[in-house]
Each structure stands twice: as structure tokens, then as C-alpha cells.
């Protein structure tokens, strides 16, 4: 109880006998208290013992006492604490008109919230507030509320929470930068290493499902079809799988019967974690006071490569990412993607082509023409069977060309390296360096001509710009040739990747999505029914053919 000084002695002031209060004991144990583990004074048991002791000593003041309002493991800046909200509800319902806490920090570490509660809400609702540690009693000593110690204590509590949050965030950021896993639960397909909670190990059972999802998608199965396949097989979705392994995991959607969804499948297909890269920091709380999550731009994520064992090979992952960028919609009843889904474009407006079926015959139309305006573009109609035959023929011709090139390349590589490759590059570098020196001399001479008054400043500027452009082109070629020479010295074989891709389909006689995915970037449909195909690795092939041509010219000389 509060005391007042009178003639050098202290005199107790008792509460009037005609007022009997309805007591509510509020107890909070924060995450910080749990982690510290050195001081038991803030434990739930000890807080309750202190509050109960006060109640026993002043039982005559109270009409009733509610069961304790306990928030265990909640930060003081979180006002959405379950028991705290229940206390406020009981205050509004007149079940409680006296609140007692061990100290001000139990009520809130946010000085704004604490001040608003004590000085506004509690006063308006005629609620008596008692804080034992600070000797605050709003009924027996109203001045104790406005005493300087209250706002100072609240500010200290708030600042403590801010500094704690800042330190924790700094530690987390350091771990993220070092590729350490800091999440509460590992992603589906992985487990937290029992020997190191900041490391991940493969969960073979779940990882197998992840591999199936990638395989099905590459095989042409739509995301919705994958969802149905998983649910029909009775395969537990990630949240239910975690629960089945004894983890205290709560489904974010809150669904009573969680199942696989298209979003879950999509997230798995996009997650770089499965290729062995640690990706963290995609979300963050707005502040230490506002715990709402917000999305973080991708350029601010923490990405560390090769931190753990991969579940999916990188080429497979990259192939999936390319497919995800395409227009891969399916009809409602279709379980597989259409053959050309995501590959067709109008040659004039650049928009994707629409698929339509009329009397059993499948056609493709310009989407702009069909859906927006017949004046914005033309029809660009083509039958599916005609398109398929034309694309198959074009791919077969491209495969023949690449295989022919590969045979020539093998012949060249069979010859002495010094003669056919290294010497060729050295000769080209030498020629380009001579050309660059000549241009530099020309540039110097026109400068002198300008100074001597033989040419105008305008002529000098135009000629100088032209020489600068030529110099830039030569420097770019020299850089490329120098890089090629380094690759040769390191026994690098840059052609192998795309040569292997084409050789795999050497005996191709049927068009599939796998073929399109491996070899074709996109297909343009022209108004007259003609088509043009942009092949994968077209630039690499062109450069290779140019090298062969240069070699042939060198041999002729």
C-alpha cells in the first residue's frame, strides 16, 4: 500500500471499506526471459506467488479474483497477447476493475501502449492499477501514475526491447550472411541437423516427393494436376507431414484439413533451397513494435550458394524456371499442358497465341486479334497438325546442322591443338592488335591535322567518334578472343553443353514438350502461315560456325 509522510513518521492509508474490487492478476513471461534462463524472479510461478501474496494480505479489499491472466513466451511489444486481450475484454465487461502486475514491464515494454493503458483506458474505465515493484497504486495514490518514474520506466522498458531486438537482428543477419539456417522449421524435403541446428540435412522421404514434383512438371503435368495427383495418393502436404513427424508446426492457412495446393507446388518449384543454396530474409517484421510481416525485394535476400546437399540438380531447376516463365495454362479438365503451351507468339504483335478447337480441328489464333480488337492485329491462324509438322521438320534440320557441325569440330579437335586452335586465336589476336594500332595512329594524325587547320573541328569530331567506335568493336573482339584462349589453356569445352542437347535427339521422329523445352526458345507465327523458330544455343552455334570458317580460310592461305 502507498504511504504518506506525517510528522516525520509513515502512516498507512487503507482503502475505504465501502469499495470492494474485482481483481485481475496479469502475468507475462517473455521470450527474452526464457532465453536468459539465469534469473527466476520473472518466472510465471514466482510472479503468481508475489501477486497471490499481495491478494492474501489485502483480501478484505476485494470482492472477487479472476483466474490469473498468463501470457507465456510473448514479447512485451506484442499487444495481441491472448490473455492480455482477454483481460481487456473482461475489463470492458465489468468483470475486472483492478489490475495488478509484478512490474510495469509485465504490462508492456512499449511505453506508448503502457502510458495509454494506465493514464487513459484504466482511468476512463475506473480501473485500479497496481504495480508492486514501482509502488504504484492508482487508487490509493493517484499521483504515483503521473510520477516521473512511470514514464521513465516505460521508456527504459521500451528501449530495452528495441536494443534486444536490434542485437538479435544483427546476430541473425550475420548467420544469414554465413549461410547458416535460422528458421524454426526446415523446408519440406529437409531436416535441421541434430548436431547443428543451423545446418540442413536431406529428409529422404520428403525429398523423394520433391523430386517427383519436378519430374512431373518437366513431363508436362500442370501444377493443378500435380496437386490432384498428390492428394489422390494420400501424400501428406508439408504442414501435415511435419506434424506427423512430431513437430509442433501450425499451418499458416489455418485450414482444418490442409491439403496440397497449387501455391504449395509452385513454391517448391521456385525454391532455390533444393539446389543447395541457402535463401533467407525473404520476409521481415515492420518493426520491433509492429510484428506484421512484409515482403523483402529479391535483391535484398541473403543467398549463399552450396551450403547443403541438393535435392534437385541445377540444370533441372533452371529448366523448370524457364518453363514457369512461359504461358502454361491448361483447360479445366486437362491434366497435361498442351504441346505448344508457352512457346507460340504472334510474329507481328508479339503476344501469345490462343488455342481453339472447331469441329475436332485445333487452331491457333493471335490473342490480340481474338480477345482485344480485330483492328489491333490480324488473325495469324494456323492448324495444329500443320504447325506440328513444320516445327518437327525445322527441328530435324537444325539437329542435322548441329550434328554436322559437331563432326567437323571433332575433326578439327583431332588435329594438333597448337595448329588448329591456339595458333588460330593467336593469329586473330595479332591481326586485331595491328588493326587497333593503325586506328590509333590515324586518330593521332587527324588531331594534328585539326591543330594545323587542315580540317575543321566538326570534321575532326565526326572522324574521332568513328575511330572511337571502331576501337570499341576491336577491343570487344580482343576480349572475347583472350577469353577463348584462356578456356583452351584450361582445357575448357564450351560447346559440349549444347552439342549434347542436340545429339540426344539425333533420331527424332516425334515432337514432344521435352524436345521443345530443350531446343526451342520460342516460335513465331506469321500471317501468311509461315513460321520462324528461335532455337536454344543459336548464338553458340553461330560463333562455332564462324570459327570453322576462319579455320578453313587459314588452311587455304
Strand partners, 10: 5
Please give the C-alpha separations between residue 26 and each of 51, 128, 291, 417, in angstroms, as whole numbers.
9, 13, 22, 83
Q: CB 41: neighbour CB atoms within 10 A?
A: 11
Q: Dump pLDDT digits (tens) for 452-507.
A: 888 888 888 888 888 888 888 888 888 888 887 776 665 444 445 667 777 788 88
Strand partners, 386: none
Q: Dump pLDDT digits (tens) for 302-360.
A: 788 888 899 999 988 988 888 887 655 554 445 567 788 878 889 888 888 888 888 88
Q: Dump pLDDT digits (tens) for 82-102.
A: 888 899 999 999 999 999 998
Which residue segments constitute the domains of the chain, with CATH numbers given? Answer: 3-162 (3.40.50.1390), 190-325 (3.90.1750), 390-556 (no CATH)
Quote the CA–CA distance of 15 and 24 in Å, as a whole number. 17
Residue 282 DSSP symbol: S
Strand partners, 15: none
Q: CB 306: neighbour CB atoms within 10 A?
A: 11
Name the residue with cell 570453322. Answer: 548
Longest dimension (CA), the chain: 121
Between vectors from CA 106 to CA 100 and to CA 108, what angle results, nearest 5°? 110
Residue 2 DSSP symbol: -
Residue 14 DSSP symbol: P
User: Which pLDDT band holds residue 509 (cuts at 50, 70, 90)?
Assistant: confident
User: Contact, 161 vs 75, CB < 8 A?
Assistant: yes
Quote the CA–CA distance of 516 and 386 in Å, as a whole number. 16
Residue 10 is inside which H or E element, if any?
Answer: strand 9-12
Q: Dump pLDDT digits (tens) for 73-84.
A: 766 455 678 888
Q: What is the DSSP string of 23-75?
A: EEEEEEE-HHHHHH-S-GGGSHHHHHHHHHHHHHHTGGGEEEEPPPEEEES--
Q: What is the 3-state secondary structure (H, E, C) of 208-260?
A: HHHHHHHHHHHCCECHHHHHHHHHHCCCCCHHHHHHHCCCCCCCCCCCCCCCC
- Pick the residue with more confidence: 104 or 388? 388
Residue 543 is inside which H or E element, if any?
Answer: helix 538-556
pLDDT at residue 5 above 50? no
Given this model, what pLDDT does residue 139 score?
Answer: 86
Question: Exposed, middle or buried: residue 189 (CB in 10 Å: 0-12, 13-18, 19+)?
Answer: buried
- Give the closest residue to 340 by CA, choosing from 378, 380, 372, 385: 385
Q: Dump pLDDT digits (tens) for 139-188.
A: 888 776 665 445 555 555 555 555 545 555 565 566 667 777 777 788 89
For residue 448, the Cα-to-chain-centroid distance in whole angstroms is: 58
Cβ-based neighbours of 203, under 8 Å, separated by 6 or more: 186, 188, 189, 190, 191
Angle of the 262-270 helix axis to the 314-325 helix axis, nearest 10: 130
Given this model, what pLDDT does residue 37 score?
Answer: 44
Q: CB 395: neighbour CB atoms within 10 A?
A: 21
User: Contact, 26 vs 100, CB < 8 A?
Assistant: yes
Q: What is the DSSP string of 437-476?
A: HHHHHHHHHHHHHHHTTSS-HHHHHHHHHHHHHHHHHHHH
- Give the closest residue to 29 by CA, choosing from 91, 102, 116, 95: 102
Quote the CA–CA distance of 320 and 48 in Å, as a whole number. 57
Residue 550 is inside which H or E element, if any?
Answer: helix 538-556
User: Which pLDDT band holds residue 39 (cuts at 50, 70, 90)?
Assistant: very low
For residue 87, the Cα-to-chain-centroid distance in whole angstroms is: 39
- Give the closest residue to 549 by CA, choosing from 468, 428, 467: 428
Amino acid at each position: 500500500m502507498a504511504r504518506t509522510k506525517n510528522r516525520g513518521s509513515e502512516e498507512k492509508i487503507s482503502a475505504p471499506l465501502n469499495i470492494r474490487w474485482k481483481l485481475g492478476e496479469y502475468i507475462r513471461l517473455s521470450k527474452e526471459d526464457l532465453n536468459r534462463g539465469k534469473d527466476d524472479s520473472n518466472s510465471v510461478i514466482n510472479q503468481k506467488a508475489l501477486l497471490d501474496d499481495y491478494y492474501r494480505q489485502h483480501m478484505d479489499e476485494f470482492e472477487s479474483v479472476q483466474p490469473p491472466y498468463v501470457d507465456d513466451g510473448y514479447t512485451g511489444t506484442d499487444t495481441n497477447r491472448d490473455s492480455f486481450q482477454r483481460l481487456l475484454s473482461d475489463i470492458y465487461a465489468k468483470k475486472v476493475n483492478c489490475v495488478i502486475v509484478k512490474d510495469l514491464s509485465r504490462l508492456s515494454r512499449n511505453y506508448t501502449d503502457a502510458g495509454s493503458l494506465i493514464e487513459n483506458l484504466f482511468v476512463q474505465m475506473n480501473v485500479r492499477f497496481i504495480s508492486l515493484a514501482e509502488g504504484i497504486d492508482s487508487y490509493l495514490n493517484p499521483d504515483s501514475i503521473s510520477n516521473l518514474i512511470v514514464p521513465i520506466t516505460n521508456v527504459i522498458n521500451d528501449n530495452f526491447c528495441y536494443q534486444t531486438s536490434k542485437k538479435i537482428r544483427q546476430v541473425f543477419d550475420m548467420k544469414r550472411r554465413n549461410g547458416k539456417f535460422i528458421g524454426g522449421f526446415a523446408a519440406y524435403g529437409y531436416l535441421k541437423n541434430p548436431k547443428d541446428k543451423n545446418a540442413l540435412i536431406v529428409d529422404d522421404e520428403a525429398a523423394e516427393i520433391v523430386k517427383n514434383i519436378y519430374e512431373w512438371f518437366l513431363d508436362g503435368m500442370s501444377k493443378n494436376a500435380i496437386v490432384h495427383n498428390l492428394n489422390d495418393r494420400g501424400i501428406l502436404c508439408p504442414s501435415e507431414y511435419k506434424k506427423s513427424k512430431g513437430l509442433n508446426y501450425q499451418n499458416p492457412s489455418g485450414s482444418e484439413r490442409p491439403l496440397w495446393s497449387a501455391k504449395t507446388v509452385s513454391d517448391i518449384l521456385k525454391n532455390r533451397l533444393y539446389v543447395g543454396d541457402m535463401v533467407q530474409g525473404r520476409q521481415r517484421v515492420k518493426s520491433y513494435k509492429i510484428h506484421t510481416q512484409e515482403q523483402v525485394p529479391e535483391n535484398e535476400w541473403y543467398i549463399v550458394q552450396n551450403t547443403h546437399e541438393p535435392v534437385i540438380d541445377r540444370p533441372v531447376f533452371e529448366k523448370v524456371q524457364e518453363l514457369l516463365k512461359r504461358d502454361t495454362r491448361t483447360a479445366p479438365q486437362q491434366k497435361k499442358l498442351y504441346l505448344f503451351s508457352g512457346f507460340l507468339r504472334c510474329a507481328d504483335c508479339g503476344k501469345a497465341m490462343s488455342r481453339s478447337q472447331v469441329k475436332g480441328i485445333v487452331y491457333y489464333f493471335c490473342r490480340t486479334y481474338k480477345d482485344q480488337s480485330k483492328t489491333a492485329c490480324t488473325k495469324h491462324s494456323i492448324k495444329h497438325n500443320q504447325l506440328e509438322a513444320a516445327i518437327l521438320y525445322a527441328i530435324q534440320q537444325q539437329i542435322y546442322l548441329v550434328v554436322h557441325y559437331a563432326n567437323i569440330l571433332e575433326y578439327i579437335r583431332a588435329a594438333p591443338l597448337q595448329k588448329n586452335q591456339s595458333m588460330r586465336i593467336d593469329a586473330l589476336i595479332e591481326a586485331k592488335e595491328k588493326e587497333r594500332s593503325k586506328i590509333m595512329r590515324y586518330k593521332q594524325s587527324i588531331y594534328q591535322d585539326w591543330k594545323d587547320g587542315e580540317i575543321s573541328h566538326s570534321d575532326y569530331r565526326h572522324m574521332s567518334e568513328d575511330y572511337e567506335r571502331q576501337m570499341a568493336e576491336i577491343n570487344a573482339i580482343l576480349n572475347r578472343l583472350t577469353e577463348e584462349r584462356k578456356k583452351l589453356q584450361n582445357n575448357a569445352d564450351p560447346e559440349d553443353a549444347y552439342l549434347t542437347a542436340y545429339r540426344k535427339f539425333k533420331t527424332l521422329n516425334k515432337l514432344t514438350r521435352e524436345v521443345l523445352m530443350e531446343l526451342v526458345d520460342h516460335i513465331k507465327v506469321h500471317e501468311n502461315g509461315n513460321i520462324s523458330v528461335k532455337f536454344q544455343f543459336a548464338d553458340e552455334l553461330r560463333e562455332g560456325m564462324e570459327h570453322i570458317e576462319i579455320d578453313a580460310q587459314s588452311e587455304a592461305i
